[in-house]
């Protein structure tokens, strides 16, 4: 693969309700921010990928409404409706395909719509939508399946929530840093068994942007480039009943492809820090298994053994993860941004010392129907 | 008069209610008609890998082969995963607490998602359940022609 790099990043703070800024305003803010960060001007950007969801925005072709905010009035703009990692994946492909630079920008304001209605609408309108299923209940079924298969405890999931909300205190962008105990999580309101309120991510408003550049433009940018060494995504069955929800099959496939591209044979030894899409506490261990950091069913053990703590061998979500801030679609791009900041050595009090290789991960569809995996490096 | 910078932020309320008529296709029609007319659950199977799907569908996603063999499934099955729902939501088919369950119907190879309205606290994986259909006059060819699954 040609050498391509992330040369600029920007994100808003994540909040429950950003009243004084529209989606347009948020996109404008992070677009200005990412150009400033990279030290590039709009003239250096030759194509733009916007990431949005029509149901979230409450309008069709929602991407078209933020074109000028993204600096794209005379540019080639295309859109990904899905998580930001997938938008960035497409952006990377465009640079590999001959563009010098791609600006990828994602936005969402969960506060403006009804997330339960919106996530209900991702299900089949004939067989599933009419029984009222939405993202939380679907995820609860997955958590139940995962626990049942491997004999896991709710407490082991609660520990993830405690860790990530605590890490959130080190991230100035985080929506919900919290000082919690396992007991706090266990005693929080029952939402859909086994998920309790504090097993669930908050719904946040926010936006994020990155610039991906080819080798020549990575030298023009003022930042230290973060090189894209491996990227892959993979999808599994649409109907939940067709899937084995206790195993992240498509993540296993996507991560293997990304590792192969990056020349990594033992990820647990090669990767210094992970930012993954923990929309619910149980997802972190399940995704760690899918990413090949441990055997199936052993994900919770990685936290019990201290491996995924800030101080551990493989820190996971030092930013506080999605459990601390969850602007839909934006959250995956935020994982890439956090990984990038780690590799630039600019992650402030959440910095993992001497991080050279980082993994960022995003999901799309119910219960991680598809996964996108990024292996990034500070070294070309 | 020009309003000051610190003018309180206004909002606009709206709602999108978009009518659709989704044709459910041949496989879907045969499935829903069987619920309506016969109070039976039917699926279809792949002649290559033998997998039995429910709801039935056009093709096997694994073998990429059209599914032409129809199978009558049991109206009973085994719960393979579930959740008891405690929050309320306007699109729920009944009051909480109730359960969503993935049910391996007898004769099928995939989980069938539906609801268990009564005694969700008694539900666990591996429990046997059976489909309870609405009365014939109330069945319209709809997934909720199966009113609920009941713990046997």
| Closest of B66, B71, B76 to residue B55, by C-alpha | B71
A124/A128 Cα distance (integer angstroms): 5
SS3 A151: coil
**pLDDT grade for A2, boundaries at 50, 70 and 90:** confident
A140 touches chain B (CB under 8 A): yes
Express each pLDDT in A301-341 by its tens digit: 999 999 999 999 999 999 999 999 999 999 999 999 999 99
Average pLDDT over residues A190-212: 98
Query: What distance lies between CA B148 and its chain's CA centroid?
Result: 10
According to DSSP, residue A200 is labeled B
Express each pLDDT in B129-142 by its tens digit: 999 999 999 999 99
**pLDDT grade for A233, boundaries at 50, 70 and 90:** very high
| Closest of A265, A123, A209, A1 to residue B143, by C-alpha | A123
- For the CA atoms of chain B, what is the radius of gyration? 21
Pick among A132, A196, A235 to test the B interface (most B CBs inside 10 A):
A132
Contact B85 A137 (CB under 8 A): yes
Instruction: Tell me how far CA of residue A80 lies from CA of A9, A94, A150, A233, in angstroms.
Output: 18, 13, 36, 14
With CA atoms as reference, the chain A residue closest to B56 would be: A127
Question: pLDDT value at position A1?
Answer: 76
Please name every residue paired with A107 in a beta bridge, in sequence order, or none if there are none.
A207
Query: Which residues of B fall within a CB distance of 8 Å from A117?
Result: 91
With CA atoms as reference, the chain A residue closest to B82 would be: A141
Query: Which residues of B fall within a CB distance of 8 Å from A137?
Result: 83, 85, 100
Question: pLDDT value at position A73?
Answer: 87
With CA atoms as reference, the chain B residue closest to A147 would be: B81
B44/B50 Cα distance (integer angstroms): 10
- Alpha-carbon distance A120 to nearest alpha carbon in chain B (angstroms): 9
SS3 A254: helix
With CA atoms as reference, the chain B residue closest to A112 would be: B13
> Tokens 């990692």 label which residue?
A85
A195/B83 Cα distance (integer angstroms): 9
Model ipTM value: 0.97
Query: In chain A, pLDDT over 90 holds for what percent of residues?
Result: 98
Show me where the domains of chain B are located. 25-151
| Closest of B25, B41, B22, B20 to residue B133, by C-alpha | B41
Contact B83 A58 (CB under 8 A): no
Q: How far apart are the first and last CA of chain B?
A: 72
| Closest of A39, A129, A161 to residue B142, by C-alpha | A129
- Cβ neighbors of B5 (< 8 A, separation 6 or more) are none
Q: Please indicate, yes or no, whether the overall pTM of this predicted structure exceeds 0.90.
A: yes
CATH architecture of the domain with residue range A4-114+203-220: 3-Layer(aba) Sandwich (3.40)
Helix (H) or strand (E) holding A96: helix A84-96
With CA atoms as reference, the chain A residue closest to B31 would be: A127
Question: pLDDT value at position A332?
Answer: 98
Q: How many of the other CB atoms lie within 10 Å of CB of B52?
A: 18
Express each pLDDT in A145-194 by its tens digit: 999 999 999 999 999 999 999 999 999 999 999 999 999 999 999 999 99
Question: pLDDT value at position A76?
Answer: 94
Q: What is the mean pLDDT of chain A?
A: 97
A132 touches chain B (CB under 8 A): yes
Express each pLDDT in B68-123 by its tens digit: 999 999 999 999 999 999 999 999 999 999 999 999 999 999 999 999 999 999 99
Length of chain A (residues): 380
Q: Which residues of A166-197 are buried (b: 16+ CB within 10 A; e: fewer)?
A: bbbebbebbbbbbebebebbbebebbbbbbbe
User: Contact at 8 Å (CB) between A92 and A212?
Assistant: yes
Query: In chain A, pLDDT over 70 holds for what percent of residues?
Result: 100
Average pLDDT over residues A191-201: 98
Express each pLDDT in A345-359 by its tens digit: 999 999 999 999 999
- Using CA of residue A86, residue A90, residue A92, residue A96, what is the dihedral sign? positive
Please name every residue paired with A253 in a beta bridge, in sequence order, or none if there are none.
none
CA dihedral B111, B114, B120, B124 (to 10 degrees): 0
Average pLDDT over residues B24-30: 97
Show the tokens assigned to B48. 């290559």
- Alpha-carbon distance B142 to nearest alpha carbon in chain A (angstroms): 8
- Alpha-carbon distance B103 to nearest alpha carbon in chain A (angstroms): 8
- Alpha-carbon distance A364 to nearest alpha carbon in chain B (angstroms): 19
Q: Which residues of B105-114 are buried (b: 16+ CB within 10 A; e: fewer)?
A: bebbbbbbbb
Contact A58 B81 (CB under 8 A): no
Q: How far apart are the first and last CA of chain A?
A: 12
Query: Which residues of A fall within a CB distance of 8 Å from B80?
Result: 145
- E-state strands within chain A: 4-11, 47-51, 76-80, 101-109, 190-192, 195-196, 205-214, 226-235, 273-275, 357-364, 370-377
Angle at A18 between CA A161 and CA A134, to 5 degrees: 50
Instruction: Tell me how far CA of residue A239 lies from CA of A54, A244, A320, B64, in angstroms.
Output: 22, 11, 31, 16
Express each pLDDT in A62-121 by its tens digit: 989 999 999 998 899 999 999 999 999 999 999 999 999 999 999 999 999 999 999 999
Show me where the domains of chain A are located. 4-114+203-220
Contact B113 A240 (CB under 8 A): yes
**pLDDT grade for A41, boundaries at 50, 70 and 90:** very high
């Amino acid at each position: 693969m040609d050498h391509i790099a992330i040369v600029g990043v920007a994100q808003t703070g994540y909040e429950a309700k950003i009243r004084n800024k529209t989606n347009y305003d948020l996109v404008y803010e992070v677009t200005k921010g990412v150009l400033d960060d990279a030290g590039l001007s709009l003239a250096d950007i030759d194509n733009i990928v916007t990431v949005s969801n029509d149901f979230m925005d409450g309008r069709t072709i929602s991407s078209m409404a933020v074109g000028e905010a993204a600096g794209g009035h005379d540019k080639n703009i295309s859109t990904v409706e899905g998580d930001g990692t997938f938008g960035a994946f497409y952006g990377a492909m465009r640079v590999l395909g001959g563009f010098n630079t791609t600006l990828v920008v994602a936005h969402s304001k969960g506060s403006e719509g009804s997330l339960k209605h919106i996530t209900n609408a991702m299900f089949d309108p004939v067989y599933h939508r009419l029984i009222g299923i939405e993202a939380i209940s679907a995820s609860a079924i997955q958590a139940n399946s995962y626990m049942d298969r491997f004999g896991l405890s709710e407490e082991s999931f609660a520990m993830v929530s405690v860790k990530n909300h605590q890490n959130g205190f080190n991230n100035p962008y985080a929506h919900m840093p919290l000082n919690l105990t396992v007991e706090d999580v266990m005693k929080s309101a029952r939402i859909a068994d086994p998920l309790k309120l504090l097993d669930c991510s908050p719904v946040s408003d926010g936006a994020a942007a990155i610039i991906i550049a080819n080798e020549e433009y990575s030298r023009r940018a003022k930042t230290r480039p973060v090189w894209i060494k491996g990227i892959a995504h993979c999808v599994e069955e649409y109907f939940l009943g067709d899937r084995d929800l206790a195993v992240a099959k498509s993540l296993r496939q996507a991560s293997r492809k990304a590792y192969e591209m990056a020349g990594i044979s033992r990820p647990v030894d090669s990767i210094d820090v992970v930012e993954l899409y923990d929309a619910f506490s149980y997802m972190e261990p399940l995704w760690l298994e899918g990413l090949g950091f441990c055997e199936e069913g052993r994900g919770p053990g990685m936290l019990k053994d201290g491996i995924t703590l800030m101080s551990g061998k493989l820190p996971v979500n030092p930013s506080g993860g999605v459990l601390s801030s969850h602007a839909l679609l934006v959250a995956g791009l935020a994982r890439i941004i956090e990984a990038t900041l780690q590799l630039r050595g600019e992650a402030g009090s959440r910095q993992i010392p001497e991080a050279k290789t980082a993994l960022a991960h995003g999901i799309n569809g119910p219960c991680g129907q598809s996964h996108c995996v990024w292996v990034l490096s500070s070294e070309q | 008069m020009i309003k000051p910078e610190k003018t309180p932020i206004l909002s606009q309320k709206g709602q999108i209610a978009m009518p659709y008529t989704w044709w459910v296709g041949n496989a879907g029609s045969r499935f829903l008609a069987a619920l309506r007319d016969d109070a039976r659950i039917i699926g279809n199977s792949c002649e290559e890998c033998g997998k039995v799907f429910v709801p039935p569908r056009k093709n096997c996603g694994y073998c990429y082969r059209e599914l032409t063999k129809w199978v009558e499934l049991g109206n009973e099955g085994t719960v393979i995963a579930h959740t008891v729902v405690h929050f309320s939501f306007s699109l729920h088919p009944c009051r909480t607490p109730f359960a969503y369950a993935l049910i391996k119907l007898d004769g099928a190879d995939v989980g069938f998602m539906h609801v268990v309205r009564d005694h969700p606290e008694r539900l666990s994986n591996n429990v046997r359940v059976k489909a309870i259909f609405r009365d014939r006059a109330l069945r319209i060819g709809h997934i909720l022609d199966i009113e609920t699954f009941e713990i046997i």
